[in-house]
Amino acid sequence: MPDPDTSSPGDLDATLARTDPDRWLSSRFAAGAEARRALVALYAFDQELARAPRNASTPLVGEMRLAWWGEVLAEMASGGPVRRHPVAQALAEAARTFSLDPGALEALVDARYRELDPRPLTLEEALEWADGTGGGCAVLAASILDPESDPGAARAGGGAWSIGRLVRTAGLSLDAAQAPLETRLKAARRVTAKAFPAVAHAALARARARGRPPSDLGDRLRLMGAVLTGRV
């Protein structure tokens, strides 16, 4: 199961701002407090999934933690009570309010199992991982903001953001990532204006790929420019 977490739902926003500033910033541009809360819940869930393999002492422990979140999704799908974990509770509320696709949520869990394998990622695996994690999360985020949004465009934008981070954290070379990154950024331009905050953080992908650390003012300006122009 996940590490003990004593935070309350009201703390999730502040925690996400600290641990996932890129997507927290992009969520600020979503219209409506309810939608922003749902995005925070979704990204907090994805952060929990990322922690599962990263903080596990053995692959088996990592599998158990991912399975725990799979059980949470099963509880949500059954319509019964969901275990009292702040992220699980917030995600369940978001899923009810915005009719989040249960299969898409399960796919986020499944995408993390590759991280339990010590073998280095091939380029093909790295791109598949990026599209399944950041890309899959962006598809769900876009569905919250605009149910009519193009899921392929949202996946491309979220995948681009994940590629940018992967170059810095998993040894994927910038040269190898360059073409796939640009292809996804171009495809992300098809995202509707209402759904654009779901992929706005892709505007930071090139900077992350080049190893540029987060900068509060600089990142805010980049994201604001992306939202104003509709281009990442």
Q: If you average pLDDT over residues 203-208, what whole number do you get? A: 92
Q: Are 16 and 38 in contact (CB under 8 A)?
A: no
Rounded-to-integer distance, Cα 24 and Cα 178, Å = 25
State how far the Cα of 60 lies from the Cα of 120, in Å rounded to an integer: 19
Position 108 scores a pLDDT of 98
For residue 93, is it within any domain?
Answer: yes
Mean pLDDT of 121-133: 93
- Domain containing residue 129: CATH number: 1.10.600.10
Residue-number span of the structural domain to which 164 is assigned = 9-229
Q: For residues 15 and 43, is the Cβ–Cβ distance under 8 A? A: no
Q: Please check whether residue 75 lies inside any domain of the structure.
A: yes
In a domain, 164, yes or no: yes
Q: Read off the pLDDT band of 217 (50, 70, 90).
A: confident
Judged against a pLDDT cut of 70, whether residue 133 lies above it is answered with yes
**pLDDT digit string, tens, across residues 1-10:** 665 444 454 6
- pTM of the entire predicted model: 0.92
**How many separate domains does the chain show?**
1
Residue 207 lies in a domain: yes
Residue 4 lies in a domain: no
Q: Is 183 in contact with 189 (CB distance < 8 Å)? A: no
Tell me phi and psi for residue 210, to 5 degrees.
Answer: -85, 5
Structure confidence at residue 155 as a pLDDT band (50, 70, 90): very high
Minimum mean pLDDT range among 4-13, 23-32, 56-65, 183-192:
4-13
46 assigned to some structural domain: yes
In a domain, 1, yes or no: no
Please tell me the predicted confidence (pLDDT) of residue 120: 87
In a domain, 2, yes or no: no
By the 8 A CB rule, do 36 and 16 touch?
no
Return the pLDDT at 2. Answer: 63
- Whether the pLDDT of residue 72 is over 80: the answer is yes
